[in-house]
Amino acid sequence: MESRTGKPLAGRTALVTGSARGLGRMTALELAALGCNVAVNYVRSEADAAELVERLRAAGVRAAAIRADVADPAAPKRLVADVERELGAGVDILVNNAGPFIRERRRFAEYAEDEAEALMQGNLLGPMRLDRLVIPGMRERRWGRIVHFGFGRAGEARGWPHRAAYAAAKVGLVSLTKTLAVEEAASGITVNMVCPGDIRGEHKEMGIEDVRGLADPESPGQRPGAGEDVARVVAFLCDPASDYVTGNVIEVTGGFDPIRNYIPQG
């Protein structure tokens, strides 16, 4: 659907969950630069979402901010319907970026039941619901891109002490990624997973040149990762010419391994 503008995603509609801030925001900006109309999804960051929408519109694409918590079982259906109403088209590109994460280190038995369930809802069941909702329209149009977000080494299904529920959800998403890639290939839909490294804080919204020359204490001799590193990979996967790339788990980690050797205590 490349238009006379020369932008490969002109006329396409993308839904990027959790995109008011961080990696989702950088992804939204990257897709808009390729001509894509973008639905900005948020839960609490209303002001950030509104500011991003104005920036996207200034870039010449249609954009809308839509509040929805993908961890809420009732939210995905409303979210997809709102995107179609606000942007006037079905979802061609779904980037499942949103997902709760508890940074405090705790063993699995120390999680409250509702905490563990919330991690599963937001990181596995929410994306599953959204995938199921957008696939019929993608099939009808014979074109679609689904990108899931994981974590470094998720494809290996290794144990991750202190992150049990989160890791279990994302590893489940690995299997879903590969399954959908096979099931939907004949319909022109690709499904891939991008696994960011430990990109923290303000670096999530930085470009590559912004972090060039900075030191990364976790990886001596290497620069820190930036949001642009991840967004560029997502944009590549969404490009119409990337239709031969599907079912992959792609790490954007700088070689960093988030799963440390663990010595049980007590």
Tell me the C-alpha distance between 191 and 247, whole Å: 6
CA dihedral 191, 122, 260, 258 (to 10 degrees): 50
Closest CA to 96 of 201, 203, 180, 202: 180
Residue 105: which pLDDT band, with cuts at 50, 70 and 90?
confident
Tell me the C-alpha distance between 97 and 80, whole Å: 15
- CATH level 3 topology of 13-252: Rossmann fold (3.40.50)
Q: Provide the b/e sequence for 204-243 (b: ≥16 CB within 10 Å).
A: bbbeeeebeeeebeebeeebbbbbbbbbbbbbebbeeeee
> Strand, helix or coil at 243?
coil
Q: Which two tokens stand for residue 213?
A: 């020359």
pTM of the model: 0.93
Stretch 192-198: mean pLDDT: 94
Mean of all residue pLDDT scores within the chain: 93
Stretch 5-24: mean pLDDT: 95
70-104 pLDDT tens trace: 999 999 999 999 999 999 999 999 999 999 888 78
> Strand, helix or coil at 47?
helix
Amino acid identity at 192: N
Yes or no: say if 186 and 5 are a contact pair by the CB < 8 Å rule: no
Per-domain residue ranges for the chain?
A: 13-252
